[in-house]
Amino acid sequence: MKPYRELTRLGRLRRLRQLAEAALKEYGLSGSQLTFLHYEGNVIFRVDAPGNAPSEIVMDPNVGNRYALRILSIGDTQAINSELTWLAALTKEAGLPVPQPVPTLDGRLLITITTPGVPHGRVVSLMRWIDGRQLSKGLRPHHLQAWGRVMGRLHKFAADWQPPEGFKRFIWDWDGLLGGRDFHHSMEELVESIPQQFREPYKIVSQQAREVMESFGKGPDAYGMIHGDMYPENVLFKGRDVYIIDFEDCGFGYWMWDIGVALGSWTWTDEWHWMRDASLEGYTQIRSLPEAQLRQLDLFMAVSYAMMVLWATAFIKQDPAMQTEYEEWRTREGEKLLRYFERDIIIEI
């Protein structure tokens, strides 16, 4: 059998699908239909159970016989359990409709599944399916306002939330985003491996971000538990409601980082100003942000592009078999980074 690391993306997905099918037995969902959705770190399949699957909670926005099965890219069960703790707090204490974990037949929220051809097995979890749809096009001001209000509710709750003992999640400060804290290669080696046209822009944004984050500090006015990955594909719309999904990257970081990631898909386009204003209008209906933080929105969006350039570079070194995919990702995000320096003026908010 060909070693896993030498497989193409498609080859890996074939083996991971077999692992997903094995995992379904633990939930009493054998025979369910698996539909591939996403592979970027974690692998996610939609699970459609035949008939009416057993469900303790059948209510909007959950779909009773549909689930999201995650094959996690990390094996740190303490960190994964902490994510589930955060989701429970958002559901029960903040009243936010977020994905709810589903236990196995014997009551476990996390299981490790081992199948031939996937070394060391993988940690798997199952979530209830939230009914909504992605909107990459056709967004209107009311969509962005509702999205902003949901972000505001999450951040308002997080600013006062006290994690329980043993809680462990990512730290999205400068070291975690741009400083290479979790990489096996040195920062010097990684930066030198960034394509030349992106290297100096990366260095400039990284230095600016370091200074700004140090000035913000880590008090609750600027920093706390965030979603960390609030791109449009992780936001669902249904009528006037907005649901945030996919909390795999949740951790401690800056409120402006969450906002910058959320808005970063539309930066400096013809629609940019009204989308920014509508989102911030919704957000500030729930909680306010200091003017000094809001002024750094452009920078935090540039940080998201610079981070991806760095991370794609690190992933190429760690997993050469996926070089083509990572290079395409790095180029796409690097071109966005260049646009940060090409804008005519910085619009004051």
Instruction: Show the domains of the chain with their CATH numbers.
Output: 4-130 (3.30.200.20), 141-342 (3.90.1200.10)
Global confidence as pTM: 0.87
CA-to-CA distance for 179 and 311, rounded, in angstroms?
10
Convert the pLDDT of each residue in 49-101 to its tens digit.
987 544 444 445 777 789 999 999 888 999 999 999 999 999 999 999 999 99
Separation between Cα atoms, residue 52 and residue 253, nearest integer Å: 40
- The per-residue pLDDT of the chain, averaged, comes to 91
- Give tens-digit pLDDT for 114-136: 999 898 899 999 999 999 999 87
CA 207 → CA 16, 146, 171, 264, 330, distances in Å?
39, 33, 18, 20, 20
Structure token pair of residue 262: 């959320």
**Residue % of the chain over a pLDDT of 70:** 96
d(CA 345, CA 349): 12
Comparing CA positions, the residue from 150, 163, 339 lying closest to residue 240 is: 150
Residue 74 pLDDT: 86
Per the CB < 8 A criterion, the answer to whether 279 and 263 are in contact is yes
Question: Taking the chain (349 residues) in consecutive chunks of 10 residues, what is each chunk's mean pLDDT?
Answer: 88 94 96 91 92 50 86 92 94 92 94 92 94 87 96 97 96 96 92 96 97 97 96 92 94 97 86 92 96 96 96 92 90 94 58
190 contacts: CB under 8 Å, gap ≥ 6: 180, 183, 310, 313, 314, 317
What is the predicted pLDDT for the residue at 346?
Answer: 44
* pLDDT given at position 54: 44
Vertex 344, ends 268 and 148: CA angle to 5°? 30
Q: Calculate ∠ Cα 10-36-249, nearest 5°.
A: 95
